[in-house]
Structure 1
Amino acid sequence: MRAWPRAWPREGRRTHAAVAAALALAASLLAAAWHRDGRASVLDRLESPLLDLRFLLVGPEPAPADLVIVALDDEAIREAGGYPLPRAAMARLVRILSGARPRALGLDLLFLDPGPAPDDAALAEALKDAGAVLAAAAAFRADPPGAAEAVPVPGLPVAERVRWPIARFRDGTGIGLVNIATDHAGTPRHVPLLLRLGDTALPSFPLRLAAQAARAEPVLEAGGIAVGGVRSRPDLGLNLPIRLHGPRGTVRTVSAGAVLRGEVEAEELRNRIVVVGATAIGAADTFATPYDPVLPGVEVLATAIGHLATGDGLVRDAATRRIDAGAAIVLAVASALAVSLAPAGLAVAVVILAALAWLAATVIAFSSHLWLSATVPLAAMIPGLLYGLLGRLGLDRRRARDLARSERALRLFHPPALAARLAQDPGFLAAPVTQEVGIVFLDLSGFTRLSERLGSQGTDRFLRDFHGVVGEEIGRHGGLVLSFMGDGALAVFGLLDPKPGDARQALVAADSLVPRIRSWLGTHTLTRGRPVGLRVGAHHGEVVASRLGASDHQQITVAGDSVNVASRLMEVAKDLRAALVVSADLVAASGIAPGAMPFEGERSVAIRGRAQPLSVAYRWTERMAAG
């Protein structure tokens, strides 16, 4: 474990990214497979409001011009005296509509019960002469069987039973199922084109009417269905997605009452697809849509008929589902890698932009009648993102702990103030700086004989205690101990943030070290009865502060003539048998008035290796031991 700090972050992050990508890939493949097979899931509930939003963003669009609804509205019902309309009135309506020679005629009405025999006979004859398509409705099984039964295509909705028109009306007419598939909120989403009843496939009302209008039978093709040369691309199980045109009335609508009164010209109906259905409140089945909370069911069916007749329906087939699956895989893996490897801020921005880009792509595709899933790719991103974010958080915390341990360890090699500066400004003294500082050197006299008697362990213990006293006293006066050299030390004042009082602090600290260390030596258990003394040399002058050493191993230090002078003053102290020797330069720079510090003497001395003599002051000559 201790060998990891340098090696583990890169390898650990790569491993974490690989695991996150693998998890994202597995999750996206599962979501893609589920979506490709058309299985219901909670994502369908999330997709519905996003699809409604696309309807609103793209807006309504015009319905086909050759599509007309003849509405059994409030006016028609009021004139007929009630709903359902009497069979005689319905027979007259069918005759009028048939006489206008529409391309196709369908009645979205369930004639489940017989009426008066003469009226039923008249209506049956009118329906047969018109070749009208009548409505039937399927009821569905709660537990549909497998696909072993003989049907044209797999995955068709399975009907348990069908509510047919009375037998009298079936002769010479077409029958189509008017079932509409809605989402959990009741919004119409699909119209099943074929439904399965036992081993028989039954056509829907829109398919039957579109085929009548095209004068051609529907032809099943790979991935679609063609009616009279117009190809549509329904969803799985031949479920036709509904691209709602707008609120009620978007599909051209005329009142059945106006038709019965002769107020509708035959030209308005000629060669058009005419659908008769109820729109009156309380008489018609209605659906909540993004454009209208009470859209009549006949308008939904008319919309589906228009899709099949013109090929302008909403496309959501196996190909679009493959696009969804591909997007899910790419987005999931890419987002997992981004949050695992990229900087945190950039990763979050990339993931958000990718999600927004996909949502924007679904809107653009919807404007071209392509229904791409907004939720499947976004949902597929979640497992990899969560693992990537949580794992990255764990790695970052672990890295932070290692860095904190490393920082604490590195701080042991620098004075606290210098370590704090390096942490705040890693480039501190990367370039050498020339400045004036106070310099203090000290070492012990008699230490060689002491260490001989103490042995290695005793000497180590003694030096640790000694360094602690020196560091505490220097730090108390604002100085930095740059290095400990066995029984000696080098301290500077004014290196980090030079101030006018640095020289004074250096002089006071140098003077206070003598009584402090003498007191400590007198009470330390390892030095009792053993002559150990102290020599301190202090100077003030210009130095070059820099980092010395190789590129991978450096230390902060000061160099120059002033440093050499301060070091030589300890030799002067030995010659003068004084504990403290300071230069006149330091005394002058300190601003301490002459006589304020009781020096025992002043003189001009020669400094080894230096041509010019130096004026010094000294004190603490008593109780000195020979070095």
Structure 2
Amino acid sequence: MRYQNRYFFLLSLSTLLFSLFLYFYLPSFLQILELKSVDWRFHWRGNTLPSQKVVIVAIDEESLEKVGRWPWSRTKMAQLVKKIDAASPLAVGYDIGFFEPEVNVAQKEVLTLFEFLKQKHKLDKESQQFLEQRLLANYPDYWLARALLETNSTQVLGYYLNFEPSKQKQKLPLNTAKYTGVKLLQPESVFQPLQASKVRSNLELLLKAAGKQGYFNVVPDEDGSYRRYPLVLEFRENYLQPLALSLFNHANKSSFVVVGKAGILGVEVGKVFVPTDERGFLFLNYRGKAQTILHLPAWKILAGEIDPSLLQGKYVLVGVTAPGVYDLRVTPFGVAYPGLEIQATALDNLLQKDYLLRPGFAPLFDLVAIILLWLGVSLALFYLTPFFSLMVSLILGLSFIGLNFYFFTHKLYLLNLGSPLLTLVISYVVLLSYRILFADKQKKNLRKAFSKYLDAKLVEEIVKEPDKLKLGGEKRELTVLFSDIRGFTTLSEKLAPEELVSLLNKYLTEMTQIILQEKGLLDKYIGDAIMAIFGTPIYYPEHALCACKSALSMLLKLEELNTNWKKTKGLELNIGIGINTGEMVAGNMGSIERFDYTVMGDNVNLASRLEGLNKYYGTNILVSEFTYEQVKEHFSFRLIDKVRVKGKEKPVKLYELLPEKKATIFQSYKEEYEEFLSYYFAGEFEAASEKLLLLEGKTRDKLWELYKERLKVLRQSRPENWDGVYTFAVK
């Protein structure tokens, strides 16, 4: 059936104009779509072989278990430096910052004795030499510096650039890797790389010993995923080099930032030119999932259990990959990709020269694809039946995807996939809608989209009143819950794959049902972890209360499951739950036909960090003070700590949400515990230690061991301006 009338052509032309408008305006949802299409191409391509020239020395979970928790002493790091250098690598880079001096008790005692004898005029030459030797023996930074200085290979330390506004006038530290200069190809060339306001540099002693440092900053795309690597960042008119490029240029060849009329074209190292986008970012060609690039556990190197040939003549990157240290990033290959492997991927791309690039003809290719796909769909719907027009549209779409994928895999070209395919879809849907009358499927689409991660009653409410569902992002006060199984890696080693999947499915099913019953929205599963949101997509004010109810019910249900699993499998699970309430951006990513509803913001990140801190404090449920203030009348809590988490300046009070049994026990020592905390926060550490001894006599709790160790350090080295806040400073 043919619709030969002007309205069809006008509507068809309107879809083309609308598609071109989207392409040039590039709204946020289309940016996200294009970025996700890059991820899809990586997944379709699968893993590729790395160059074998780059090796990662990973301070992983197993290394922390065998050597000790992070951060390690500089003396231990010095041993690692020596062990690596003994294998004769080409160059070694450290995705670790040595920003503050390491002070130990022995060092302080020797200094005190030195000053005492000097004041009493009892310091003879022999005593002075002895004390200086002891001081040197207990000086971890010296031993690390000495180890770096005595290496035969190039050593490059990593440092951090801060981009927040700062009035501090800071000079560029010595030995910071930077470009020799800038090459302007045209007089009117302008470029604006990201400008840093502050350098978080390594200790001068270590930096002098190593001889070079490169920044390890990586910058996410709009959706929070890391697909590009900054090859140029500016600090006070100095154009700095990252860690990967500093290793690549270990011979310290002349290097330049090459600038064209519209911005940065790339960087030049010796005779090698590396193309970038106009901001100086390199499009990363990921090799595959985490650990595609060779990982060698640090503990094995320290123990001498690694074949030196694996490191000989290689570029080595050293850093922390253990999940608990939170240097995990979202990449096309997953949400828990080690930040260290991003550095390794960039270096491997530079060595292989197989980074991705957006060619000069890309805009023309995109426009031609948009017009041809629009024309093909329009003609098909004009001349053919709906069924055959659908077949033609599918063939056109798949052909374009195949061509685009060929350029991606064989030419390493990044060409737009989302905009042309969106043109095809818009043209087909709009024109088909004009041709035939069909029932409104909005309710069906909403029910399908939300039924898998919302309670059925809430889904029906959305279907009845779809206007309540805002499709764009908006800022709301909501509550986020993260939960995770403790020791899941160990558990996976004990069970056969089939048993593990069965157990995990049973666990996730039961936990999800509880979340849905309490009006929570299941955001996503991250392996064995769960992320849930309360108070959305249809807002309800009791979201914090529902989240806490869910957490307690999850623990109760886990007890039932453990009873059965202990009998049948001889094992029990333990989980940690983190809950935070605050403003965050909530909304759908995509179109009404296909979208992901999620939240993002600092308050989401805080909930995730609280979940991870359960392992540190020996708790099961940690909530922030913001959640506590909304529900304190409904549940039993105990104040755990006041902390300043990494990346946040404002301290946060942490509370443990207590199940009924634990709440009853807490009442028996509540008075002593609150007195202990009051002494601790006031800086009266001796009195706090005495109270802690009383608490140890009343009940066993991992928290007592934690505070005992902390008080031991605080009594020996009392911090200035103590405010009762513990700062988590590691990455």
TM-score normalised per structure 1? 0.52
Alignment CA distance shift 1:303-1:324 (3 Å): same
Aligned counterpart, 2:407: 365
Q: State yes or no: 1:191 paired with 2:229.
A: yes
8 Å contact from structure 2 (residues 183, 258) kept in 1 = no
Counterpart Cα distance in 1 of 2:376 and 2:252: 48
Q: Is the 8 A contact 1:236 1:318 kept in 2?
A: no
Q: Using the alignment, how far apart are the partners of 2:50 and 2:316 within structure 1?
A: 13
Using the alignment, how far apart are the partners of 1:125 and 1:82 within structure 2? 24
Counterpart CA distance in 2 for 1:371 and 1:329 is 19
DSSP-derived class of the 1:294 partner:
strand
- For the 8 Å contact 1:55–1:290, the answer to whether it is kept is yes
| 2:396 partner SS | helix
Moved more, 318-327 or 304-313: 318-327
The residue aligned with 1:247 is: 289
C-alpha deviation, 1:327, in angstroms: 1.9
Q: What letter matches 1:312 in structure 2?
A: D
In structure 1, what is the Cα distance between the partners aligned to 2:95 and 2:292?
A: 18
Alignment partners' CA distance in 1, 2:254 and 2:311: 21
* Distance in 2 (alpha carbons) for counterparts of 1:287 and 1:159: 21
Return the alpha-carbon distance in structure 1 between the equivalents of residues 165 and 13 of structure 2: 38
Q: Give the alignment partner of residue 274 of structure 1, picking from 294, 316, 322.
A: 316
Q: CA deviation at 1:321?
A: 4.8
Separation in 2, partners of 1:9, 1:305: 57
Which stretch of structure 1 is more off in the superposition, 203-212 or 321-330? 321-330
Matched, 1:66 2:50: no
Alignment partner of 1:124 is 2:145: yes
- Which segments of structure 1 move beyond 6 Å, counting only runs of 4 or more? 150-153
Whole-Å separation in 2 of the counterparts to 1:321 and 1:92: 53
The one-character-per-residue Cα deviations of 1:289-340 (angstroms, maximum 9, x if unpaired) are: 4545532111121011100111112333554454334323432354345545
Map Cα deviations across residues 502-544 of structure 1 (whole Å, 9 max, x no partner): xxxxxxxxxxxxxxxxxxxxxxxxxxxxxxxxxxxxxxxxxxx
Confirm or deny: 8 A CA contact 1:248 1:299 kept in the other structure: yes
Give the match's secondary structure for 2:92.
strand
- Residues 240-288 of structure 1, C-alpha deviation per residue, up to 9 Å, x if partnerless? 2222222332211222222223333443322211111112231351134
- Structure number with larger C-alpha Rg: 1
Q: 2:393 aligns to what?
A: 351
Q: Work out whether residues 183 and 257 of structure 2, in 8 Å CA contact, stay in contact via their aligned partners in 1.
A: no
Within-5 A mapping of 1:25-174 = 25-34=16-25, 41-116=28-103, 118-128=139-149, 130=151, 131-140=154-163, 154-171=191-208, 173-174=211-212
8 Å contact from structure 1 (residues 177, 205) kept in 2: yes
Equivalent-residue separation in structure 2 for 1:309 and 1:135 (angstroms): 19
From the superposition, tell whether residues 122 and 319 of structure 1 become closer, same or farther in structure 2 (CA, over 3 Å): farther
Determine if contact 1:151/1:200 at 8 Å carries over to the other structure: no
Cα RMSD (Å): 3.6
| Identity among equivalent pairs (%) | 28
Q: Which residue of 2 aligns with 1:207?
A: 245
Q: Which amino acid aligns with 2:342?
A: V
Cα 1:67/1:213, change in 2 over 3 Å? farther
Q: In 1, Cα distance between the equivalents of 2:328 and 2:271?
A: 32
Matched, 1:234 2:276: yes
Q: Matched residue of 2:305: which SS?
A: coil
Quick check: 2:158–2:215 contact (8 Å CA) kept in 1?
yes
Superposed, which structure 2 residues align to 1:423-434 within 5 Å? none
Q: Is the 8 A contact 2:255 2:267 kept in 1?
A: no
**Bigger relative CO (Cα 8 Å, ≥ 6 apart):** 1
1:100 and 1:253 mapped to 2: Cα distance? 16
Count of residue correspondences: 374
Letter in 2 for 1:373: N
Contact 1:68/1:251, CA 8 A, preserved across alignment: yes
- In 2: Cα distance, 1:309 partner to 1:219 partner: 18
Aligned letter for 1:163? R
1:263-412 aligned at under 5 Å gives the runs: 263-283=305-325, 285-289=327-331, 291-336=333-378, 338-340=380-382, 345-368=387-410, 369-381=412-424, 384-385=427-428, 388-389=431-432
Superposed displacement of residue 382, structure 1: 5.3
Helix, strand or coil at the partner of 1:247: coil
Q: Distance in 1 between matches of 2:293 and 2:433?
A: 53
Q: Which runs of 5+ in 2 are unaligned?
A: 104-135, 167-181, 185-189, 438-731
Question: Kindly tell me: are residues 142 and 243 of structure 1, through their superposed partners in 2, closer, same or farther at Cα, counting changes over 3 Å?
Answer: farther
The CA deviation at 1:156 is 2.7
In the TM superposition, 1:544-559 aligns within 5 A as none
Residues 1:21 and 1:110: Cα distance change in structure 2 (over 3 Å) = same
**1:393/1:55 CA distance change after superposition, 3 Å:** same
**2:232, 2:273 → 1: CA distance?**
16
Flag the 1:381–1:74 CA change in 2: closer, same or farther, 3 A. Answer: closer
How far off its partner does 1:215 sit?
5.1
Shift of 1:393: 6.3
C-alpha offsets along residues 223-246 of structure 1, whole Å, 9 cap, x if unaligned? 444445454433342222222222
Which segment drifts farther, 269-278 or 87-96? Answer: 87-96
Change (3 A) 1:9 1:260: closer
Question: Do 2:191 and 2:259's aligned partners in 1 also have CA atoms closer than 8 Å?
Answer: no
CA drift of 1:357 comes to 1.8
Contact 2:74-2:141 within 8 A present in 1 as well = yes
1:336–1:388 CA contact under 8 A, matched in 2: yes
